[in-house]
Amino acid sequence: MFKKYDFLIVGSGLFGAVFAQQMTKFGKKCLVIEKRSHIGGNIYCEFKEGINIHKYGPHIFHTSNKEIWDYVNSFVEFNNFTYSPLAHYKGELYNLPFNMNTFYQLWKIKNPQEVITKIQDQIIKSGITCPENFEEQAISMVGTDIYETFIKGYTEKQWGRKATELPKFIIKRLPVRFTFDNNYFNDRYQGIPIGGYNKLIEGLLQGIEVRTDIDFFKNRHEFQNIAERIVYTGKLDEFYDYKFGYLQYRSLRFEHEYINLPNYQGVAAINFTEFDIPYTRIIEHKHFEYGKQKGTVITKEYPQEWVPGAEAYYPINDRYNTEKLNKYNELVKIEDKVIFGGRLAEYKYYDMHQVIASALSKAKKMMELNHGLIR
């Protein structure tokens, strides 16, 4: 049976856009459908008051992979923005990530070795030798002062659960620097697209057919029969009609506000680490692009529990969800006409450069597995 398209790509976020660009480059015909009224997924920027507003939360591109950096810069030039957020705790401001500036602000200690000794003393005094939960694991890594000031309240807001109820394996690492360095990321390359992330997505999808306001599941039978293969970037459990139940997520609510001031907080992001303040951070978008506009736009970010119908942002990779995920992945393994990619379809927390690397890798594998793919 003749199929009109080689690939139907469900979702116009980074994974879908990169995959579509690669297939089109090699002569394949792609159709991208997007359920929202705009392309770009969660990196979409809304342009208001002369400012690119990161509508679904701030995105700072960073990578140490030169090939990935050169790839994105081939579609749009990136600026040299360096992410250096602040932490707000009980009226005081501290530098992030944890570094000698933070420790001086917290303890008035200037010597790195004294900081190391203080942290080790707190770890020993905690008496934790075999951590059983998130809280114990964090304290065993950075001590009580850093945990109580910067981690506990923020984490409990972010996950909607007490730190003692969270599994310890959520913490893979806590970056602690014993230098006076406020650069949040260690990656060699870092920046924001000049003109916003829409420029990147538009560059990736140039010349490719895209339809917005299209829900794949409302016309599933039709869409499954117009292309040789489907590239799916939505929620994995939804694709399989929740056969094994819902996978859990955390969601976010954003409050955007225009303020008639040239500068509201002097930095792109301030994290509010105390539990009593309901939002986790305030973003001032103009600072991502060194804006000089007369006014400014800020966004307060409120974590919330995900419910069906809400936007899913962060997968909850605990044991409960991992068991369900393993069942869904058994179904994925037997698919020969569907490619799953991105944070939702893989139920995995990805940074942007990791999403791009995954899309490039899967596109390359597709071409290698099917010799007839390249014309």
229 labelled catalytic: no
Is position 281 annotated as part of the catalytic site? yes
Pick from 3, 5, 6: nearest CA to 363: 6
Are 200 and 193 spatial neighbours (Cβ–Cβ below 8 Å)? yes
The answer to whether residues 49 and 293 touch, using CB atoms and an 8 Å cutoff, is yes
Spatial contact of 283 and 58, defined as CB atoms under 8 Å apart: yes
200 is written with which tokens? 């990147």
Which residues, at least 6 apart from 161, have a Cβ–Cβ distance to it below 8 Å? Answer: none
Label residue 2 exposed, middle or buried (CB < 10 Å: 0-12, 13-18, 19+). Answer: exposed
What are the structure tokens assigned to 195, written together? 């003109």
Residue bearing tokens 């056969």: 243
The Cα 337–Cα 6 span in angstroms is: 11
Strand duo 269-272 + 86-89: pairing: parallel
Dihedral angle, C-alpha 374, 13, 210, 247, nearest 10 °: 100
Can 349 be counted among the known catalytic residues? Answer: yes
Helix (H) or strand (E) holding 5: strand 5-10
Catalytic residue (one of 70, 132, 349, 368): 349
Beta carbons within 10 angstroms of residue 214's beta carbon: 16
Among the listed residues 177, 187, 220, 318, the single catalytic one is 177
253 is catalytic: no
Catalytic option among 46, 242, 246, 250 = 250
- Strand, coil or helix: 89: strand
For residue 375, indicate whether it is catalytic: no
CB 246, CB 347: distance < 8 Å: no
State yes or no: is 351 an active-site residue. Answer: yes
Catalytic hit among 173, 222, 276, 336 = 173
Q: Three-class SS of residue 356? A: helix
How many whole angstroms separate alpha carbon 105 and alpha carbon 130?
31
Query: Which amino acid is it at 235?
Result: K
Residue 319 annotated to the active site:
no
CB 187 within 8 A of CB 63: yes
Catalytic residue among 301, 328, 343, 350: 301
Catalytic residue among 83, 281, 289, 343: 281
Helices (H), the chain: 14-25, 66-73, 100-107, 112-126, 134-146, 152-159, 197-204, 220-223, 236-239, 319-333, 352-369
List the catalytic residues: 173, 177, 250, 281, 301, 349, 351
